[in-house]
Amino acid sequence: MPREKFNIDGQIQQMKSKGITFNLIDEKKAKEFLTNHTYYFRLKFYASNYSKYTTGERLGQYVNLDFAYLKELSLLDVYIRRVLFSIVIDVEHYTKIRLLGSLEKNKREDGYKIVGDLFKKHPWLAREIERQKAPYTAGLIDKYHDHFAVWNVIEVLTFSNLILLYEFYYSRYNQKHVEPQYFYSVRNLRNSIAHNNCLMHDLRAVENGQQEKDEYICQLVADIPGIGVSMRSTKLSVPFLYDFVTTLEVFDKIVTSQKEKIKQLELLYIVVNNRFSRHIDYFETNPVVKTALDFMMKVVAYYRSKNLAGTETDDI
């Protein structure tokens, strides 16, 4: 049965009926936020991080959820998406650089054969490139569509198909900078950010077996100061947090410019250590959110310290 359409006042009343309070932000300011900065369905998405009463007169209502908490989570999500977008774009760019660098040194490969063989293995790929013509790529596709080389086909491949080429090339020549499967976590974040999806809408760990965890990533997190066995196990069972860690590891491994790495990690550090902590008291009674933010802070501090070690300030 279709749900009722609510105006802003109706949305406020609907939230109140669900147990959402307006103590820290009054209804007038909440209406302004819903009117000019976000919309009800998207903001309510973050309520997935909160439990509901299972018995009593408040059955089905949220436990200790104020409108301010939803607003804060939505803002943190915006900030983390902005800085992560630059990081995933860097991963894509430096993956191309690494691939071309390896190709240049590889006397067994002319750059054309590998693409031709990839198209033979995946005939749909050439057709997909043709379908994806855009004003900025149509000329290149028309010019090279019958005879692509690595150095021009990478300009028209989607990130998913770039991963396919990377995996195909490095499996053939047994060379790689990053395990290809780790790129799929980067892709998850990249696609979600590009479509403006919420990243932090559900920070709960999924049930055992539903979130596949790589042994190397688990060991990497085990070595990060302040992250114990319980936190590691729980947080790596959250799809977003697993992709977050894996993306930072790929970024650390694939980017060749130390200045670029430090610049991006400093921006990320500012978000997760300064902005995340501004209203951290909002989440003191919600261990799902509080521990997720704490986990991200520790992970980012680890990569920042690792890359700052031995770097002169003047070089940044």
Q: What is the reported pLDDT for 316? A: 31
Q: Looking at 257-261, 283-287, 311-315, which range is the least confident one?
A: 311-315
> What pLDDT, on the 0 to 100 scale, is given for residue 313?
41
Tokens of 35: 């009117």
**Amino acid occupying residue 89:** I
The CA R_g of the chain, rounded to the nearest whole Å, is 23
pLDDT of residue 3: 64
Residue 124 has pLDDT above 90, yes or no: yes
Of 53, 40, 47, 50, nearest to 9 by C-alpha is 40
pLDDT, tens digit, 9 for 90 and up, residues 1-56 = 556 667 899 999 999 999 999 999 999 999 999 999 998 889 999 999 999 999 99
pLDDT given at position 307? 95
State the Cα–Cα distance between residues 232 and 210, nearest whole angstrom.
Answer: 16
pLDDT of residue 207: 76
Tokens 């300009």, residue located? 155
Q: What is the band of 138 on the pLDDT scale with cuts at 50, 70, 90?
A: very high
Q: What is the pLDDT of residue 265?
A: 97
In whole angstroms, give the CA distance from residue 303 to residue 301. 6
The mean pLDDT value for 202-227 works out to 87
**Reduced to 3 DSSP states, what percent helix, strand and coil does the chain have, rounded to the nearest 5?**
65, 0, 35
Parse the chain into domains and list their residue ranges: 107-175
Question: Phi first, then psi: what are they for 174, rounded to 5°?
Answer: 55, 45
Under a CB-based contact definition with an 8 Å cutoff, are residues 65 and 51 in contact? no
| Neighbouring residues of 261: CB distance < 8 A, sequence distance ≥ 6 | 251, 252, 255, 307
DSSP 209: T
Q: Is the pLDDT of residue 234 over 70?
A: yes
Strand partners, 62: 52
